[in-house]
Structure 1
């Protein structure tokens, strides 16, 4: 779900008396939208756009339209509040932790690569039957200390037939 659809869904699903910028930000975070400082401006602009549209929607009661208009006109001001800034800081920290976990998982993953000639045929994330020491030796053979898949696929595993194995070790 993108930011625009998520904000529209928030305004549709939440009772208008409970609409708020912080409530919308929490809703976005719960829907796994990457709410980070990098997207702060985009989120604010989209929130303003959606609430402006909502404020003119004739199928809503007047109180809901008034609330949407008030939120739209105060959005830039509210996005400067310490509470909103703290929320974005917390989301930035969580995003960095998730990214670090993904990178760590990637580096700890064993991969099986099959090459025919100079072309990569398959890359499988299946666990290897080779012990960690063998894979570690393949990685350490790289002269430059670079642990790229291109370098690693050149190291043929003796018992793998046409397959190569590698484990990226940080």
Structure 2
């Protein structure tokens, strides 16, 4: 019993150190359109906001995209906290979708996770812009289709 308590405390300390190390910003690439200043120059063109379509219905989401690349993965948050849209992709020029959460629609979370037998969504990348389309699951087993388009802000 005493050994189990030591293991639990050690595990909690390890997790805390990992979280502090991950949130310190060292080695991370973090971008957010919300923090990108707008230019008054007429020559600058701002990227279109994110586009989210689930089962043919366009979702209204806040025009905010955050992208973090670390450990050969790209982590993306789209919209506000209440929109609940997040994706994890393998980083690089030919990324693959690892997981996707499209928020809650009609009381059911809409998600995709690689390795659960579902067909892999198609991911295309051009510069900082991504388009992801494929199938997801709403709730426990209801199939859903989705399209997700977004542009990660350029690092400054």
TM range (shorter): under 0.3
Q: Report which of the two has the higher share of strand.
A: 2
Larger radius of gyration: 1
TM-score when scaled to structure 2? Answer: 0.24
